[in-house]
Amino acid sequence: MNPNRHFLFFFVCLAWLLFSPARPLVAQNTANNATLSGYVMDMESKETIVSAVVSIKAAKLGTFTNKSGFFALKNIPSGTYTVTVSYLGYAKKEVELTFQAGESKKLTAELKRSIKQSEQVNVEATREAEKRQINISQVSVQMEQVKQLRIGGESDVFRTIQYLPGVLTASQVSSGLYIRGGSPDQNLVLLDGMTVYNPSHLFGFISSFNTDAIKDVDLNRGGFGPEYGGRLSAVVNLTQKEGNREKVAGSAALGIISSKAFVEGPLGNGAFMVSARRTYLDAILALLPKDPLNPLPDFAFYDLNAKITQNITPDDKISLSGFLSRDYLKLGASGISIGIGIGNRSASARWTHVFGDNLFSTLNLSASRYNNGFDGNNSGFEFFVDNTITDYTGKLDLEWFASSDLTVKFGAEVTNFRFTYEQNFSGSRDSIAQIGTQTSTQTNLAITDWTYAAYGQFNYQLSDKMSVQTGLRGYYFRQNNSVALDPRLSFRYQFNDDITVKAAWGLYHQYLRLASNPNFSFFDTWLPTDSSLGLSSALHYILSLETKPVEGYSLNFDLYYKTLNNINEINLSNIRSRNVSQIFYSGNGYSYGAEVFLEKKTGDLTGWIGYAMGWVWSTFDSLNGGRRFNTRYDRRHDFKAVALYRLNDRWEIGGSFIFQSGQPFTGVSSRFQTFLPNELFGTGVTIPTDRNGLRLPPSHQLNLNVNYNTTLFDLPARLLIDIYNVYSRRDILFRYYDTSDKTTVPTDVRLLPILPTLSLEVKF
């Protein structure tokens, strides 16, 4: 389908929406109806609650709170009604209110945590709220579940996300999420509106985000609306806690792998929150016996989350957020050594304002910097790469609750990017020159650019059973001097209370590019799309069936097909570059597959089982002789299971299991020797076979954890025992060919063995 047909299809559907006889776009005879708006928050801490359900059953009205805990219900007929407010893990709240014709009421609903955390939300209220929005392929990760699931003594947001179907990692040490055939750069990761470019710590072991600091997490695996842009595959949207407005509280945790501390409390007319963490696994690994054949990697990290929130007026709130993380990794084996350093620094300032009772605005100013350094020595051949991306972004979003049937979102965004990239594959570390120079063995780039975007989105309920969401996002990229338009369209049809069908179609463009060294999948290179390249683009086609076969369970089926154009692979053979196209190979790809997801969110036993079957193909004229090949993150089968069981108030047990087809890799067919003057043995050079034509063995792992709730010095405490990699399956990180001797030796670099950990958390 060519671009003209894309837009013809989009505008035909839009015209049908505007002029459909099913229901007029603007509801009739509603001028004298009332409006209810306000916030939902935790009774004890006064922390706002995201995605709480607010409904009036008698009027068949319902909605969810947004990322700021705000809601609005329009077109309430005059009369007396029971307003129901509910959220998972909280006691349901019912308030009786009387509405006069044309009246506008404000409500601040405070929910009390239920004694039994698994208490179920009001199902009928949730169904009324769901009619107003379309969230296809979206999973809201429950933080209570995240905190119970432990890996290496840590609860972890991104580890939990990795256990969802359709979400892959190139290996257990991959620092990125591979979602439905998309590489990590194709995922937009937002933390309080600021972009985070590397969302997890090395080894994929613990993410960069401390769960004590996170309030809400949404993962959209595709088909997302035009309010999000600049990425081809998925959106991970995280919201940090604002802090306890009533008292100073916090927690501290001491574990074998890492320690952390969290403090929150009132400040002025608002609150503050600070969370910090540091691992010392590097010191522990140094004490373990050395295995020359299967050496253990050496790594460490730290991170910091912080936020200050102030209510200026009842309708104005200002917050300042910050995030800092740093990693390093060292690997060494026969004939090879690698060193990596990765860091994130981000900050944002956000102002939310309510105009009247139905227009909500958010102004977000953010700055983010990501740096990745990489060096190594492979059989005497030395190399070095350093890459930095900095962005300064301003974004304005407005959400208009026009009627009980129509919600409109629109906004604009401007970003200033600064990129630096230095590469040296001369074979000698001494030949590296200063940034800003060019030699025949080195690449240095420094680029500054501006990008602009604007969007509009309409969500309209056509009938009690059908709703539609449509919108358009436009871009202008100065460096590339190009304009792009992204139409988006999705439908929702509810056959009955337990069966819903959703479909989505959309065009997506991306300006940023990331490539990973094929030998080391954890290495990232970020650069813009300059005038030498076309923008990357993708088309999404998604069909979803959502069912509730038994009360408390949901069973969802997703089918997807995605085309990818102008995607890239890093060009390691190039030793001199003056533009971005000389650093990357450019090609096309596509992915398709099916996913099944069974989930239970309530009761003493919670968790999920997921299975995904997918194919990911790429074609590059300059790679593999122009023949198509599987990407490194092509995993044909992906099975995952997570179970959490609450025995009683004291004991909780949990486990997670994953099985994936082996990842592809490139083998070698032969080798030859290169010689320098006065060199006797020379350097061995291997000849590759088909790109990613072979596969490593399947990857699988079992993790178990036990939590014991108790008290320590009259303070609530939790003792945590978990076993990472229970049966000590040391999966392969990557396979390389050691040419340091006369005989070429295929060598595997393996991951961590079984790792039992013990940690203690104390709250105050």
Among 2.60.40.10, 2.60.40.1120, 1.10.10.10, 3.40.50.1950, name the CATH number for the domain at 31-130. 2.60.40.1120
Domain ranges of the chain: 31-130, 138-763
Q: 694: number of CA atoms within 13 Å, CB side?
A: 12
DSSP count for the chain of H helices, then E strands = 5, 47
Position 524 pLDDT exceeds 70: no
Is the domain defined by 138-763 classed in CATH 3.40.50.1820? no
Using one digit for the tens of pLDDT, what is the confidence trace for 82-93?
A: 999 988 888 889
- What is the arithmetic mean of pLDDT over 190-201? 84
Position 569 pLDDT exceeds 90: no
Torsion of CA 223, 224, 229, 234, to 10 degrees: -70
Using one digit for the tens of pLDDT, what is the confidence trace for 621-633?
A: 888 888 999 888 8
Phi, psi angles (nearest 5°) of residue 78 = -60, 145
Torsion of CA 722, 725, 727, 728, to 10 degrees: -130
Quick one: which of 529, 478, 475 has its CA closest to 507?
A: 475
Confidence tier at 428 by pLDDT (50, 70, 90): low
Which of 16-20, 150-154, 636-640 is most confident? Answer: 636-640
Quick one: which of 475, 474, 477 has its CA closest to 450?
A: 477
Confidence tier at 490 by pLDDT (50, 70, 90): very high
Confidence tier at 431 by pLDDT (50, 70, 90): very low
- What is the arithmetic mean of pLDDT over 67-74? 88
User: Which residues are 470's β-sheet partners?
Assistant: 458, 489
- What is the arithmetic mean of pLDDT over 168-189? 77
- What is the arithmetic mean of pLDDT over 316-323? 94
Q: What is the torsional sign of CA 229, 234, 237, 238? A: negative
Confidence tier at 408 by pLDDT (50, 70, 90): very high
Which of 120-134, 246-260, 463-477, 521-535 is most confident? Answer: 463-477
Position 578 pLDDT exceeds 70: no
The answer to whether residues 623 and 593 touch, using CB atoms and an 8 Å cutoff, is no
Q: How far apart are CA 521 and CA 33, in angstroms?
A: 58
Position 25 pLDDT exceeds 70: no
Range with the lowest mean pLDDT among 581-595, 618-632, 663-677?
663-677
For residue 462, the tally of other CB atoms under 10 A from its CB is 19
Classify 548 as helix, strand or coil. coil
Classify 192 as helix, strand or coil. coil
Confidence tier at 379 by pLDDT (50, 70, 90): low
This prediction has a pTM of 0.85
Q: Residue 247's pLDDT is what?
A: 92
- What is the arithmetic mean of pLDDT over 300-309? 90
Quick one: which of 107, 343, 315, 141 has its CA closest to 239?
A: 141
Position 297 pLDDT exceeds 80: no
Q: Residue 144's pLDDT is what?
A: 78
Range with the lowest mean pLDDT among 506-510, 605-609, 668-672?
668-672
Position 387 pLDDT exceeds 60: yes
Using one digit for the tens of pLDDT, what is the confidence trace for 684-733?
A: 777 788 888 888 899 898 999 898 999 888 888 888 888 888 898 888 87
- pLDDT higher for 757 or 293? 757
Q: Residue 31's pLDDT is what?
A: 58
User: Distances from the Cα of 80 to the Cαs of 46, 53, 101, in angstroms?
Assistant: 28, 19, 11
Q: Residue 115's pLDDT is what?
A: 57
Tokens of 325: 């993380």
Range with the lowest mean pLDDT among 35-44, 323-332, 425-434?
425-434
Confidence tier at 610 by pLDDT (50, 70, 90): very high
- What is the arithmetic mean of pLDDT over 526-532? 78
- What is the arithmetic mean of pLDDT over 727-756? 81
Rounded-to-5 percentages of helix, strand, coil across the chain: 10, 60, 35
**Strand (E) positions, 314-441?**
316-333, 336-355, 359-378, 381-401, 406-427
Torsion of CA 140, 143, 145, 146, to 10 degrees: 100
Confidence tier at 521 by pLDDT (50, 70, 90): very low
Mean pLDDT of the chain: 82
Instruction: Write out the DSSP string of 110-154.
Output: EEPBPSSTTPPP-HHHHHHHHTT---TTEEEE-HHHHHH-EETTE
Confidence tier at 142 by pLDDT (50, 70, 90): confident
Q: Residue 10's pLDDT is what?
A: 57
Q: Residue 601's pLDDT is what?
A: 83
Range with the lowest mean pLDDT among 231-235, 240-244, 365-369, 444-448?
444-448
Q: Residue 8's pLDDT is what?
A: 59
Range with the lowest mean pLDDT among 58-62, 232-236, 320-324?
58-62
- What is the arithmetic mean of pLDDT over 114-125? 55
Position 529 pLDDT exceeds 50: yes
Which of 286-290, 358-362, 411-415 is most confident? Answer: 411-415
Q: What is the torsional sign of CA 226, 231, 233, 237? A: negative
Position 305 pLDDT exceeds 70: yes
Position 273 pLDDT exceeds 50: yes
Confidence tier at 616 by pLDDT (50, 70, 90): very high
Considering the chain, what percentage of its residues have pLDDT values greater than 70?
82
Confidence tier at 443 by pLDDT (50, 70, 90): low
Q: Residue 145's pLDDT is what?
A: 77
Range with the lowest mean pLDDT among 69-78, 205-214, 391-400, 668-677?
668-677
Q: How far apart are CA 220 and CA 147, in angstroms?
A: 21
- pLDDT higher for 244 or 576? 244
Q: Which residue has the tokens 């608002």?
A: 270
- What is the arithmetic mean of pLDDT over 398-426? 86
